[in-house]
Amino acid sequence: MNSAPGTGTPPGGAIQDFFASILADLREWSGGVTALFEASASAPTRRVVDDAVQPLALGLLGESTLPLVGGGFVAARDALADATWHMAWWQGATRERLLLMAMESAGETYSRREWFTVPMESGRGHITGPYVDFLCTDEYTVTFTVPVESGGRRVGIAGADILVESLEDLLMERILAIGSKAALVNRSGRVILSPDPQLAAGLLLAPGWQDAVDGWLAVDGAGSENMNVIRCGDLPLAVVSP
């Protein structure tokens, strides 16, 4: 997954493959959660979900070749029998359970987060970040999420977190292969990572990159009249460079 791009790999192709493979792994992993909901005609309880998801989450975090810092399942509103909201999430080097004292208010908060709303509304996997994850890591984080469906209904999302610092270690050479001032940006045009120290994570660099014509985008105030835009397939990511 994190090998160097081979000869003939199109620009951005290796980066696209890296992120797409994580989403594919999550889709496969989420099948275990789907099976939990389909095992009974009635909705599962929090305890049933926790007991089933814990070994799945620990397996996801322990078996991955990537430095994932958290993962698990986040339920949609009223998807469980005994809770309006619920999060079965494990994180950190010790794989501790994320415990939220006020799940009701936390649920109202996470249900408005991009990492939750986009896959729930679109039915597709999504990549969110970089953002400071005050709920889990308190560090710049990128979150991968996919919808979990059962009986034609989206019952929540399966997800995993990775720190931006770890992505820098894994992907910087691939970005450098495109250019020393290149930057990987999210769907809003904010920098995820770049070899240029002036392009810090979170910087708004290329808003509207989706509107690039023939691979070029006119950007005001970005230090260049035009930026080259390399799309990462159908992912909400692009590599931009002057």
Under 8 Å between Cβ of 210 and 236: no
**Torsion sign (Cα): 6, 17, 167, 191:** positive
17-22 — which CB contacts under 8 Å span 24+ positions?
Answer: 18/170, 18/171, 18/174, 19/127, 19/144, 19/232, 19/235, 19/237, 20/233, 20/235, 22/66, 22/144, 22/160, 22/162
Per residue in 152-195, pLDDT (tens digit) is: 999 999 999 999 999 999 999 999 999 999 999 999 999 999 99
Residue 75: per-residue pLDDT:
96
Segment 149-154 mean pLDDT = 95
Residue 4 has pLDDT above 70, yes or no: no
Residues of each domain in the chain carrying CATH 3.30.450.20: 11-164
What is the CATH number assigned to the segment(s) 166-241? 3.30.450
Residue 3: per-residue pLDDT:
37
What is the CATH number assigned to the segment(s) 11-164? 3.30.450.20
Residue 7: per-residue pLDDT:
43
Question: What CA–CA distance (Å, rounded) separates 179 from 240?
Answer: 9
- Residue carrying structure tokens 């389909």: 38
Length of the chain: 242
**Which H or E run includes 239?**
strand 238-241
Per residue in 21-71, pLDDT (tens digit) is: 999 999 999 999 999 999 999 999 999 999 999 999 999 888 888 899 999
Question: What CA–CA distance (Å, rounded) separates 210 from 79?
Answer: 35
Q: Where are the alpha helices (DSSP H) in 68-195?
A: 103-110, 114-122, 164-178
pLDDT band for position 137 (cuts 50, 70, 90): low
Give the C-alpha distances (Å, rounded to integers) separating 5 from 32, 39, 168, 174: 32, 42, 16, 7
Segment 76-95 mean pLDDT = 88
- For the chain, the first-to-last Cα distance in angstroms comes to 28
Per residue in 88-118, pLDDT (tens digit) is: 999 876 566 665 544 555 667 788 899 999 9
Residue 183: per-residue pLDDT:
97
Residue 223 has pLDDT above 70, yes or no: no
**Sheet of strand 191-193, all strands in order from the earlier edge strand to the far edge:** 191-193, 183-185, 238-241, 226-231, 216-218
Does residue 63 sit in helix, strand or coil?
Answer: helix
pLDDT band for position 207 (cuts 50, 70, 90): very high
Under 8 Å between Cβ of 161 and 71: yes
The predicted model scores a pTM of: 0.88
User: Which residues face 128 on adjacent strands?
Assistant: 143
Residue 109: per-residue pLDDT:
78
